Structure 1
């Protein structure tokens, strides 16, 4: 019994020390130099604020205790933003934000609880978006083709315009794209996921395993299929 009590006191001391460290931490801002990139992958709970502009720029804002642990590196044209792991490092309520300006963007990936917000409209030809592992994105786009996959409890909220939109939601994730005006759309949901799309031309929709699809607009043609409790409805 005495040993258990000693362990409890030890763990409680570590917990209090972690909270105290957070309370005393100050926020720092660093401009990071990188090579050219056209894609971004953000992870490990870092929040990304994305802007289209004429010059590339990467700025990290984080608590001074962890800012050196946040990595910004470019590999094969992909800007990777993540926090490296350290044993026994307490990170409760620590601020971790990345402000990135891009000239062109072809791929945007968010994973491991990171959030992405676009601060202006993302423009371009083709854009691939992947959201997984509890991450959330809220972006506005104006592209010819948008390919979006959301999985593992992630949420994606998309607005703007796209001539072609391919959407795939699985494993309890949501895609809210009723404010994205599309000409042609191909959407598939499964495993309790939901998707809302806005289509004026051709709609191809597949819903299975308790997935729901709501479509807005007045599609010129529809090819829909429901299975295993899936549901597709016009709004």
Structure 2
């Protein structure tokens, strides 16, 4: 819980600093975009998801033009990225209004968070290459893959399936789950809150931590991996 609090505080502080940048260096633009249900964010862009009736992107960028923020929609997958060039002291915040979202992928220092609660039947998350996902969710099922990055969640999911590797962190102490299926290896760290079934496999120096009182435990530890109650 402490780790999640720190990560959320860091994001809030970062956005505060963004707001305090010299306004003369900030450029803004609002774009109406096509409907999408998948999202991919890269290149150090911060995206805040907002539930709404009409998809749109409100771009705030410091020390670069808004035209350097590229937003593409290919078969309902929205990609938000920066134009390929060398940047100095550039900060980008995009407020993205969505109607329905089922999949989120971040990488290359991209960050995604949300206002309110994200609801879905099935939500798929993928974080890699220093990407960060911080969400409040209420879903039936959640699938998460994290590698060399971090995912921090709160809310509720009936079932979660998590794969963590290469030092990736899944912070789910504040995400209530009835069933959790966890596979962690190569230094991955997973924390979950489970009331029903916990099926956890930890290997190659990985750690799975759990809170709650699972009714059933299926645990496998190999090659220095460990599963422990916290």
> Shorter-chain TM-score: which interval?
0.7 to 0.9
> Partner of 1:219 in structure 2?
214
* Alpha-carbon contact 1:25-1:64 (below 8 Å) kept: no
Structure 2, unpaired ranges of 5+: 1-20
* Alpha-carbon contact 2:63-2:90 (below 8 Å) kept: no
> Partner of 1:174 in structure 2?
169
Task: Give matches, 1:43-122, under 5 Å.
Answer: 43-63=42-62, 65-86=64-85, 89=86, 91-122=87-118
Rounded Cα–Cα distance in structure 2 between residues aligned with 1:95 and 1:205:
39
Rounded Cα–Cα distance in structure 1 between residues aligned with 2:146 and 2:24:
34
Greater fraction of residues in strand: 2
* Alpha-carbon contact 1:135-1:154 (below 8 Å) kept: yes
Deviation at 1:62, TM superposition (A): 0.7
CA-based RMSD of the aligned residues comes to 1.6
Deviation at 1:25, TM superposition (A): 6.5
Deviation at 1:176, TM superposition (A): 0.5
Rounded Cα–Cα distance in structure 1 between residues aligned with 2:24 and 2:45:
17
* Alpha-carbon contact 1:27-1:95 (below 8 Å) kept: no
Rounded Cα–Cα distance in structure 1 between residues aligned with 2:84 and 2:49:
24
Distance verdict in 2 for CA 1:24–1:198, change over 3 Å: closer
Match of 2:194 among 194, 199, 203: 199
In terms of mean alpha carbon deviation, does 153-162 or 46-55 score higher?
46-55
* Alpha-carbon contact 1:25-1:65 (below 8 Å) kept: no
Secondary structure of 2:67's partner? helix
Normalising by the residue count of structure 2, what TM-score does the alignment of the two structures yield? Answer: 0.87
Rounded Cα–Cα distance in structure 2 between residues aligned with 1:116 and 1:84:
19
> Partner of 2:120 in structure 1?
124
Distance verdict in 2 for CA 1:218–1:67, change over 3 Å: same
Normalising by the residue count of structure 1, what TM-score does the alignment of the two structures yield? Answer: 0.85
Task: Give matches, 1:9-48, under 5 Å.
Answer: 26-48=25-47
Secondary structure of 1:137's partner? strand
